[in-house]
Amino acid sequence: MRSSESADGTQLVHVGRQPIFDVHGDVIAYELLFRGSMAAVAAGRQDTYATSTVMINAFTEFGINEVAGDRFCFINLTREFLAGELPLPFGPAQVVLEVLETVEMDDEVIAGITKLAEAGYRIALDDFVWGAGHEQLFSLASYVKLDLLDGDLSHLDEVVAAVRQFPNIQLVAERLETDEQVALADHYGMELRQGYALSRPQVLTASSLSPSRLRRLELVNALSAPDADMPRIVSIIASDPALSLRVLRASNSVAAGHANRVSSVRQAVVMVGLKHIRQWAMLMVLDDVGGATEEHMLGVLTRARLCENVAQWFGAAPDAAFMAGVITGVAAVLGIPPAAMTEQFPLAPAVAAALTTGSGRLGQVLRAVDSYERGELGTFDLAPQYMDAVRWSTRALDASNRLAAA
């Protein structure tokens, strides 16, 4: 998916979401689907690129809490992920891994799925076809999905009987479009249901600053070193507002039920862990989306650096001030209130308070910077600090351009 570009140059990212219901009509999960635009009706593709895009958008653009709340997410996986050639950048807590019917069963795939199941991931067999070899996975599966619209129903008795030999498997009746198909699901006691007769997919859309390809490649390179240089990794992430936000959103899924909250990019990197940062970076390289404009990048970085520079005047932590500057700067580019972004990140109380109510020392930092950017000089002369911020941001972008041209 190349994300569509909005009028102000930011990117629009999309993810499809179709509810999965229980027999009582309650939504118990969502299947996450690739969508290339807001108006897209069908996925259009089910390849590794589509899978990577769904993961990145759901977990690091929207944030998984916004997409699914506390419900499970069913995500289609291609062979590359199932066989372990590409890593999964999230844990098993909230996801169900769907084995696409097009994946050919062989020793490598079976071994990979076995390893995933042993690691705690729930496995679903998508569009199950009797005799295609996927029945070998019954002992590993938690769900078997049956297509009641275009699937071969001649073996339905046989399939249901075979599945019922495994008490841990729930049957998902999918592609339900008529009352007759719903009645068929009832007849066989299928525990879960999905289809247009119940609910059509929704397309969630958000504005985004996508990380530049150069920064993603630079991050992958830094993460690939035998002894990863944490300061350099944090520096790369902090110098790209979009990367910073993606890491923050990823840390939000890690922080679920966790007492810790972050107040700096470095803490977010530590919370997510270098292993998962490395995995997200690899997926971002697959997700070949154009970056934000240089003007956007320069503006956000200058603001973040200015917040960092004046933090000491108000007794605020410089790294927390930098983060607050990134979030408020990106919010301005996307045209949304900073407070609207706080739920997407596991922010420390002081950072969250500054963004939502403007209170505390960080709130003072943001007000001072806001006043200066509006041309209201006020009590503080921020000109030297602002010039330093411009020089720092310009050097960061110039370095990127030189590397890109090399």
pLDDT per residue as tens digits for the range 74-89: 999 988 889 887 778 7
Confidence band, pLDDT 50/70/90 cuts, at residue 367: very high
Residue range 112-127: mean pLDDT, rounded: 95
Please provide the distance, in angstroms rounded to a whole number, between the alpha carbons at the two ends of the chain.
Answer: 28
Distance (Å, rounded) from C-alpha 245 to C-alpha 329?
Answer: 11
Tokens of residue 56, six digits: 């990145």
Full DSSP string of 233-270:
HHHHHHT-HHHHHHHHHHHHHHTTT-S--BSSHHHHHH
Full DSSP string of 356-370:
HT--HHHHHHHHHHH
| CATH number of the structural domain spanning residue 112 | 3.20.20.450
Same-domain pairing of 61 and 117: yes
Q: Is the pLDDT of residue 6 over 60?
A: no
Distance (Å, rounded) from C-alpha 241 to C-alpha 399?
Answer: 16
CB 27 within 8 A of CB 21: yes
Same-domain pairing of 183 and 282: no
Residue range 162-173: mean pLDDT, rounded: 96
Q: Taking the alpha carbons of 390, 392, 398, 400 in that order, is the dihedral positive or negative?
A: negative
Check residue 36 and give its pLDDT. Answer: 60
Same-domain pairing of 313 and 179: no
Distant-in-sequence, close-in-space partners of 101: CB < 8 Å, separation ≥ 6: 125, 126, 127, 128, 129, 132, 134
Q: Is the pLDDT of residue 160 over 90?
A: yes
CA distances from 3 to 16, 65, 197, 290 (A): 14, 22, 30, 8
Check residue 178 and give its pLDDT. Answer: 93
Same-domain pairing of 234 and 323: yes
pLDDT in tens, 285-327: 555 433 456 677 778 888 988 999 999 999 999 888 988 888 8
131 exposure class (CB count in 10 Å sphere: 0-12, 13-18, 19+): exposed
Same-domain pairing of 239 and 156: no
The highest-confidence range among 40-44, 54-58, 61-65, 126-130, by mean pLDDT, is 126-130
Check residue 291 and give its pLDDT. Answer: 44
The highest-confidence range among 53-57, 126-130, 241-245, 273-277, by mean pLDDT, is 126-130
Check residue 43 and give its pLDDT. Answer: 45
Check residue 28 and give its pLDDT. Answer: 95
Distance (Å, rounded) from C-alpha 100 to C-alpha 125?
Answer: 7
Instruction: Examine the fold and report which residue of 205, 237, 266 is the final residue of a domain before the chain moves on.
Output: 205
Instruction: Examine the fold and report which residue of 170, 186, 205 is the final residue of a domain before the chain moves on.
Output: 205
Domain containing residue 347? 211-405
Q: Is the pLDDT of residue 230 over 80?
A: yes
36 backbone dihedrals φ, ψ, rounded to 5°: -90, -10
Tokens of residue 316, six digits: 């605020």
Same-domain pairing of 177 and 277: no
Same-domain pairing of 143 and 71: yes
Check residue 256 and give its pLDDT. Answer: 52
Same-domain pairing of 222 and 118: no
Instruction: Examine the fold and report which residue of 150, 183, 205 is the final residue of a domain before the chain moves on.
Output: 205
Same-domain pairing of 247 and 334: yes
Residue range 186-198: mean pLDDT, rounded: 95
The highest-confidence range among 25-39, 137-151, 390-404, by mean pLDDT, is 137-151
316 backbone dihedrals φ, ψ, rounded to 5°: -95, 155
pLDDT over 90, % of the chain: 35
Same-domain pairing of 137 and 37: yes
Check residue 375 and give its pLDDT. Answer: 80
Distance (Å, rounded) from C-alpha 344 to C-alpha 245?
Answer: 9
pLDDT in tens, 243-298: 888 888 777 766 555 566 778 888 888 888 887 787 677 566 555 433 456 677 77
Q: Is the pLDDT of residue 63 over 50?
A: yes
DSSP run (H or E) holding 223: helix 213-224
Under DSSP, the state recorded for 347 is B
Indicate the number of domains in the chain.
Answer: 2
Q: Is the pLDDT of residue 45 over 60?
A: no
Q: Is the pLDDT of residue 162 over 50?
A: yes
Mean pLDDT of the chain: 81
| Full-model pTM | 0.60
Same-domain pairing of 245 and 336: yes
Same-domain pairing of 399 and 310: yes
Tokens of residue 206, six digits: 């958000």
The highest-confidence range among 54-58, 133-137, 285-289, by mean pLDDT, is 133-137
281 exposure class (CB count in 10 Å sphere: 0-12, 13-18, 19+): buried
25 backbone dihedrals φ, ψ, rounded to 5°: 90, 10
Q: Which of 45, 46, 36 is nearest to 11 (CA)?
A: 36
Residue range 57-66: mean pLDDT, rounded: 76
